[in-house]
Amino acid sequence: MLPGLAGVPAQRVSAPPAFAVLAACFGALGPPPDVVVAGINDGHNTGRSVLHSSTVGAALTASTAGRSALAVSRGDRPGARFATAAAVGTAGCCSAAASTA
């Protein structure tokens, strides 16, 4: 169970993010998701760094499988907060799910 989200199913997979997303999108963990939110990645996913990002790779895998996806990262400068990235990711997830309903 996720803290503060009683009743929301959650799965844990010991694998790279893109593999976990692939398994979920093809029904290995239950019904496929409507939207995938990958992250929160600690660091920037810009420029050439995006080629090595598991967070972006997971979102691209979801997109390839026909699912809406969002990769959420936060900068690594002092004072950057995970809470802000989480709020953006949650807002993106909810608005994407609403637009596909």
Tokens 């972006």 sit on residue: 56
Contact 58, 17 (CB under 8 A): yes
In this prediction the pTM is 0.70
Instruction: Indicate whether 30 pLDDT > 60.
Output: yes
pLDDT value for 99: 39
**Percent of the chain whose pLDDT exceeds 90:** 29
pLDDT digits (tens, 9 = 90+) for 57-75: 999 999 999 999 988 887 7
Residue 11 has φ and ψ, to the nearest 5°, of -125, 155
